[in-house]
Amino acid sequence: MERLILCGGGHVSLELAHIAQRLEFELVVVDDRAEFANTRRFPMASQVLCQPFLQALDSLGSRADDYYAILTRGHAFDKECLEHILRGRYAYVGMIGSRNKVAAVRQALEAEGISREILDGIYAPIGLKLGGQTPAEIAVSIAAQLVAERARLGPDAARPPEGPGVLCTIVEKHGSAPRGVGTWMLVRPDGSCVGTIGGGAVEYQARLDALSLWQAGVAGSQREYDLSHAAAELGMVCGGRVKVDFQLRKQ
C-alpha cells in the first residue's frame, strides 16, 4: 500500500487526512509540535511522529511508492523537507505555497545541486486548480491530484500490505468492468479489506469467496465474475467480465 506522508499537521493536513483515509493510503503525519502531532488529532494515521522534520523523515526511509504532501508552517521547513525527500525515492511530491514562495525554494535547491529536471517533477503549488480557498477545499484539490497521479502510475506502483489473508488480483478484464488488470484487494482473515477490485456485487462475492478459500486453506484459485447481467438489469454503464486470481498468504 502506498504511504501518504504529510509533512506538517496543520488545518489542511487534518482535512486531507480524513479524505486520504477513504482513498486507502497508509497515512503518516510528521510535525515537531506536540499539539499538532498526536493520535488524538490524527486517529486515522498509522504513524504520527512528533519529531524534528529531518529526523522523522530519516527514520521513515524512502520507498518508490511514497507520496509526500509538504504542508508545513513555514518556508524554511518546506525547503528542509523537500530537499531531504528529493534525495530519496518517491512516487509523488507536492508542496503548498504561493508561486513566489515555490520559486524561491526551487531556486535555492537548484543552487544546492538539485537538478532542474528533478525540480520540474514537483507538484507546486500542490493540488489541482479548483479555485478552493478553505482548508477542506484545498484538501480536496490535493486529494484529486493524488488520485490522478496514482492512476497515471498504474497498479504496479502500489504494493499490497504485508500480513495474512487472501490476495485477490484481476488477471483478465473483458468489456467495461470498472477496474483493470493488476488491480488488487487483500481480504484479511477477519473479513476486512485493503484495496478494491471495483466495488459492488463482484467485490462482495470475491470477498466471500476469499474467506471461503482462507477457511479451507486452499493455496490458490481463479474465478470469473460476469457483470453484464446485473448491469443490464440495473441500467448501469459498467458491465463485462473479470477473472480474479486468489492467492493464500499465511503471513
CATH of the domain at 32: 3.40.50.720
CB 194 within 8 A of CB 167: no
Are residue 149 and residue 55 in the same domain, yes or no?
yes
- Owning domain of residue 19: 3-155
Are residue 169 and residue 121 in the same domain, yes or no?
no
pLDDT in tens, the chain (251 residues): 789 999 999 999 999 999 999 998 999 999 999 999 999 999 999 999 999 999 999 999 999 899 999 999 988 999 999 999 999 999 999 999 888 889 999 999 999 889 988 999 999 999 999 999 999 999 999 999 999 999 888 655 466 778 899 999 998 888 766 677 788 889 999 999 888 887 778 889 999 999 999 999 999 999 999 876 544 444 444 557 889 999 999 87
Q: Which of 112, 133, 155 is the last residue of a domain?
A: 155
Count Cα neighbours of 162 within 13 Å in the Cβ-side half-sphere: 1
Q: Is 195 left (phi over 0), alpha (psi -120 to 50) or beta?
A: left
Are residue 93 and residue 165 in the same domain, yes or no?
no
Q: Does the global pTM surpass 0.75?
A: no
